[in-house]
Each structure stands twice: as C-alpha cells, then as structure tokens.
Structure 1
Amino acid sequence: MKPLVLNTIMLTVISGTIMVLMSSHWLMIWIGFEMNMLAIIPILMKKFNPRAMEASTKYFLTQATASMLFMLGIIINLLMTGQWAMLSTPNPISSNMMTVAMAMKLGLSPFHFWMPEVTQGIPLSSGMILLTWQKIAPLSILYQISPSMNPNLLMAMATMSVLVGGWGGLNQTQLRKILAYSSIAHMGWMIAVTTYNPTLMLLNLMIYITMTLGTFMLFTLNSSTTTLSLSHMWNEFPLIPPLILTTMLSLGGLPPLSGFIPKWMIINELTKNDMIIMAMFMAMTALLNLYFYMRLTYSTALTMFPSMNTTKMKWHFENTKNMILLPPLIVISTMLLPLTPMLLVLP
C-alpha cells in the first residue's frame, strides 16, 4: 500500500474514533463508528491474500450488524425521548440494544466467534490495531451509558467472556489467536466492573493497551506467528525472550507486574459490592489465561530449541526494525505496581 493512501486511511480511522469520543449527538457517534469501520477494512487487507480477504469480510459483516443494532437503539431512544442528545439517559430497551451492539463490536461472548478468526487472518500490525485502538470507541460508549445499563446482562456477558477467553486459548499454537482470546478475557474483566466503577474500566483499558502493544511489537521483531517460531528466537534475538516472559506474565496478571493492578482493583470493587462469588470465579478463570501465557514463556525463555554444536549462530545485536516505543511500553507494562496506592483513590 502506498504511504499516502495508508496515511489517509489511518487518519480516517483515528478521526472516526475521536468523533465517537467527542460527540454528544447520537447520529454523529454512529457516523464516527461507520468511518472507523470502513477505513479499517483496507488496513486488515494490507497484505492481500484469500485469508485476509475472508477475515476482512467476517469483520465487515459483524461490525455492520452491530452498527445496525446500534442505530436501532438510537431510533428507539429518539422515539421515546424525542431528542438526539447523548446527555439524556437512554431508556432500558435502547440501552440494552446499544449494550449488545457494543458487545458485538468488542467481541464479547457470546458474540466472540469472529475475533480469533479475524485476528488470525490478518498481519501482526493490523492485529495490533484491531486489538487495541478498535476497543476505545465502543468502551467509551459503554462508559457513558453505564448508569442505564442492565447489570444482569453485563454480568452474564462478563462471565461468559472470561470463561471463553481462558478456555479458548488453552490448545492454541497460533500467537494471534492466543492474543485474541486474551483480549476476550480482558474485555470480560472490564465489562464486569462497568456497573460499579466505570473509571476502573478505563484504567484496565489503558494498562491492557500498553501490554498488548508491547507484546505485538516483540512478536513483530522476529515476525513470530506460532509458538515454534518463538522457540527459535533465542538464536537470533537473545535479549527478547526474557522481555516476552515478563510481558506475558504481566498480561496474565501475576502480582509483581503491572497486569496485576486492574485485576486486584476489580476484585476489590466486586467484593465491596457483595459480588464475592463473581470475584472468585473471575480469579479462578484468570488461572486459565496464566496457564497458556506460562506455556508461551516456557517455549520462549525457559527452554532452548535443540541445536548441534555446528549450528550457525544468528544473533542480531543491531535492531533491523524501528521500534521506538518498545522500551517505554515494556517498562510501563511491567513496573507500574508501586503506583497502585495512588490509583486506589480513583472515584
């Protein structure tokens, strides 16, 4: 893709999301979603092949259905209240429709089937955008309509999402599918706390985005797409396997690392609101995620791929790909735990 075309498309994607974030008119929000959806399709098909075309088609059909449900919710709200302004609280019917539409856009269970397939069929750079930037706009809508949302619907989707996200990734060897199931589980954690403390959802989103960006950049260095290609990385980039180990364990929510902060605070918030069984269930399903992250770190950093003494070493001490943001992303995704007391005072 030509640089000018790529820059124009990326600008449209960013503009669509910013329009959703800044608008207070339901029609402008819907237009922002449409701009974002139509501009992301060429990015998903950046390396054109039948697999990418299939993934883009699945993504388009799912997002178009979600946009239709979202517009239906907007029209119902217009008929009930007589205004387009977002400041008015949506009525329960339109709120449920909007919640389901945003769940489809985010890939929450039971609308998660498209996400692993789409992420697997597109390049690593496109998958990075799909699993990070594309989450911001739908979650901002859920944040703004959180007072009128149905808590039972949210908890049902959150429970299924953390279970599917943990179970689905257990037998995967494709890194992009593993990160897609990880995204489903993280979205479940965010949705679970939306009713009680929406600010915690935003904190979880920011930490999730930094961890996922760092993980994708580490995979991009060696163009790794399977666990087998990760096991060869020690032979080319000897410094990268320990970094993958720490970011993976942070994604899993292991205590000394940054990924533990949102899980700790969400479990704390659920417990304060007498959702003890839900908090215990989510903590137990987090162990499933931690298992397949540990499996990846085992094949990457804790073992060496069998090699003969005559094998040529291919260590690349000079970086061949420009990853300016990788060092700060790794630092943020692993060392934020001392800031937790400051974050505990969030409203």
Structure 2
Amino acid sequence: MFNNSSKIMFFFILILGTMITISSNSWLGAWMGLEINLLSFIPLMSDNNLMSTEASLKYFLTQALASVVLLFAIIILYLNYFPMIQNNFYYNYLIIYSTLLMKSGAAPFHFWFPIVMEGLSWMNGLILMTWQKIAPLMLISYIPQNNLMIFAIIASVITGSLGGLNQTSLRKLMAYSSINHLGWMLAAMQTNELMWMTYFYFYSFLSFSLMFMFNNFKIFHINQLFNMFLNSKIIKFTIFFNLLSLGGLPPFIGFLPKWLIMQLLIMNNQYILMLIMTMMALITLFFYLRLCFTAFMLNYYENNWNNNMHTNNFMNKCMLLFSFISTFSLILVSLIYLTI
C-alpha cells in the first residue's frame, strides 16, 4: 500500500481526521474530521487499476451524499437553539443517525459496502473495515437512543448473515461479515457505552490476523483456499481457525465479545433481540463451517510447481503467533479468571 511517500502522508492525515472527529466538542468539528478522513482515504484506495478506481469513485459518491445530509441535519440542529424556530430534536437526530449508519456501512444503508470492498486490496479493505468505522460509531454513541437503532441492529445481523451465504469472493464475504459484526457493536452500544469498544478491539484483531494471511498468500476467492496449502497443513488449519474465531465459535477468542454482549442483553431483558442475533450468528457460522469442512475433507490435486511456498519465514511466524492468540486466548482468559 505504501509504495510512495504521498501514501504515507495520506495515511497519517487519515488518522488525523478520525482523531479530530472523536475529540471534537461540536457537531461541526466532527463533520470536518469526517471530511478530512474521507478525502485522505480516496488516494489510498486507488492502486492504478480499474477496479480500485471504480471502488474509490463509488466510495466517494456515497460518503459525499452522507456528508451533505449530515451537514444539513447539523445546521437544522443549530437552528433549534433559537427560540423563534420550533422544531423537533428527534427527527434531526434520526437524520444524523441515518447518515452515520451509511458512513459506517451498516444495514439498511449497506448497499455500497460489498461493492467497494470487492475493488480494494486486502490492506485497504482492512482500513475500510476497521479504522474507518471508529469515527461514525463514536458519533453514533453520542446520539440519544431511538427506534431506528433496534431496526438497524436487526437489519445488520440479518443482512450480514444471509448476504454471505452465496458469495465466492472472500472480500465480499468479509464485507458481509463486517456488516454482521456491526450489528453486534450497535447492540453493545445501546446497553453499555464501553462494551462496543471491547467488541471492536476483538473484531479488529481477528480481521487483521485473517487479512494478513490473505494478503501474504494473495488469496481473493474461495477456490484458491482449496487449492493451496496441501504441503503446509498447519497454515491451512490456522487460516480456517481464524475464520471460525471471527464467526464466534465457542472454543476461540471470537466467542468472548459475543458472550459478553449476550449476557448484557439478557440482563437488560432484551430476549427477542438476543435470540435474533444469536440465530443470525449461527447462520454466519454455518457458511464458515461449510467452507472449512469442504477444505479439510476434500483432497485436491495440485501441480508440482505449486509445492514450494514463496513466503517469508518472519511472515509465517507472525501469522502463527496471531493464530495462536486467536485460537487459545479464550482458554487462557478463562484460566486467569479462575485463578483470580
């Protein structure tokens, strides 16, 4: 990604834009940070090919639309402070909430997210799935609770689980997985202010460890997973263990944040929401398990020149370290909790 110095500069401006948004004490300052973040991510997305150019254009148009509506809602919100203009705060916050959902890629405003992800490299996709969600989610946590949040949570978990069922592209699969996880983060946000951050940390780490592997081996489609790693079963198992951990299978660390959120929802008597979210999480686990079962059980023939893995030794050690943390951390955390 950082093939020249200008990309490094834009990357730091991207971080700066997010920091301006989350540290701002006014809606206008937060909007400025979002715009700086948007305009610095566009040059990072373009890798001098048609797919990335198309993805960056679609991303720009969607985010620009959301920014214009957000600015409009902020101006109306400021006008409410004048006594001669009487308006309802509820509808203003509803518009702001909708634009922030569009910026973060949550359902029902998710139409752009899988298409944009398909045209990006793995590292740019990782930024879009993790860092680019921080500022909108932080602003959503400032908004008073409303009925649209429950609708967005249910729509996100349903869209993220059902949308990934018929995908052959791993980037689209990760995009729908991100929409599903976003529903869990929104559910955590309405019950506890800090719980969504905990979920976000776990999600970011698991996405990084998985995309690091995909980027290292240049894997973009499901059939590539079946045809690779026949000579290195450890790497094959670690990739699929990371997938199952991202889906939230109980022995792995990805189950821990889901466990905490389910416990919070039960404590808040939100049984129906918890039931819907758990059922949709099982559907995501279904297509991950279907993927893993096929790759583990079937033996594919491969050509002799594919037997040697042209990978760095240091990269392999890093991947195994991330996979070890992803696989065994829940057991270690449970043991530490029991000893305390």
Unpaired segments of 5 or more residues in structure 2?
83-87
Alpha carbons of structure 1 residues 195 and 172: separation in structure 2 relative to 1, 3 Å: same
- What are the within-5 Å matches in structure 2 for residues 238-277 of structure 1? 238-277=233-272
How far residue 101 of structure 1 moved from its aligned partner, in angstroms, is 1.0
Matched, 1:164 2:165: no
How far residue 68 of structure 1 moved from its aligned partner, in angstroms, is 1.5
Alpha carbons of structure 1 residues 237 and 36: separation in structure 2 relative to 1, 3 Å: farther
Q: Does the aligned pair in 2 maintain the 1:250–1:333 contact within 8 Å?
A: yes
Map Cα deviations across residues 225-251 of structure 1 (whole Å, 9 max, x no partner): 001111122146543211111111111
How far residue 207 of structure 1 moved from its aligned partner, in angstroms, is 0.6
What is the aligned partner in structure 1 of residue 207 from structure 2?
A: 212
What is the aligned partner in structure 1 of residue 85 from structure 2?
A: none
Percent of residue pairs bearing the same amino acid type: 35
Paired residue type of 1:17: T
How far residue 321 of structure 1 moved from its aligned partner, in angstroms, is 7.9
How far residue 340 of structure 1 moved from its aligned partner, in angstroms, is 6.4
How far residue 259 of structure 1 moved from its aligned partner, in angstroms, is 1.0
What is the aligned partner in structure 2 of residue 149 from structure 1?
A: 145
Q: Mean alpha-carbon deviation: is it higher for 235-244 or for 331-340?
A: 331-340
RMSD of Structure 2 on Structure 1 (CA): 2.4
What is the aligned partner in structure 2 of residue 339 from structure 1?
A: 333
Alpha carbons of structure 1 residues 304 and 283: separation in structure 2 relative to 1, 3 Å: same
How far residue 274 of structure 1 moved from its aligned partner, in angstroms, is 1.7
- Looking at structure 2, the residues matched to 125 and 21 of structure 1 have their Cα atoms a distance apart, in angstroms, of 23
Normalised by the size of structure 2, how large is the TM-score?
Answer: 0.90
User: What number of residue pairs does the alignment pair up?
Assistant: 330
Task: Report SS of the residue matched to 2:194.
Answer: helix
What is the aligned partner in structure 2 of residue 198 from structure 1?
A: 193
Alpha carbons of structure 1 residues 224 and 321: separation in structure 2 relative to 1, 3 Å: farther
- Looking at structure 2, the residues matched to 325 and 312 of structure 1 have their Cα atoms a distance apart, in angstroms, of 25
Q: Does the aligned pair in 2 maintain the 1:221–1:321 contact within 8 Å?
A: no
Q: Does the aligned pair in 1 maintain the 2:238–2:320 contact within 8 Å?
A: no
Q: Does the aligned pair in 1 maintain the 2:216–2:311 contact within 8 Å?
A: no
- Looking at structure 1, the residues matched to 321 and 208 of structure 2 have their Cα atoms a distance apart, in angstroms, of 11
- What are the within-5 Å matches in structure 2 for residues 29-178 of structure 1? 29-46=30-47, 48-81=48-81, 91-145=89-143, 148-150=144-146, 152-178=147-173
How far residue 9 of structure 1 moved from its aligned partner, in angstroms, is 1.0
Map Cα deviations across residues 116-144 of structure 1 (whole Å, 9 max, x no partner): 11001111221111111111111111223
Task: Report SS of the residue matched to 2:207.
Answer: helix
Q: Does the aligned pair in 2 maintain the 1:237–1:315 contact within 8 Å?
A: no
- Looking at structure 1, the residues matched to 137 and 103 of structure 2 have their Cα atoms a distance apart, in angstroms, of 10
Residue of 184, 191, 202 corresponding to 1:189: 184
- Looking at structure 2, the residues matched to 50 and 317 of structure 1 have their Cα atoms a distance apart, in angstroms, of 28
How far residue 316 of structure 1 moved from its aligned partner, in angstroms, is 2.6
Paired residue type of 2:267: K
Map Cα deviations across residues 167-206 of structure 1 (whole Å, 9 max, x no partner): 0100111000000000000001111232221211111111
Task: Report SS of the residue matched to 1:195.
Answer: helix
How far residue 77 of structure 1 moved from its aligned partner, in angstroms, is 2.0
- Looking at structure 1, the residues matched to 207 and 283 of structure 2 have their Cα atoms a distance apart, in angstroms, of 18
Alpha carbons of structure 1 residues 313 and 113: separation in structure 2 relative to 1, 3 Å: closer
Q: Does the aligned pair in 2 maintain the 1:72–1:97 contact within 8 Å?
A: no
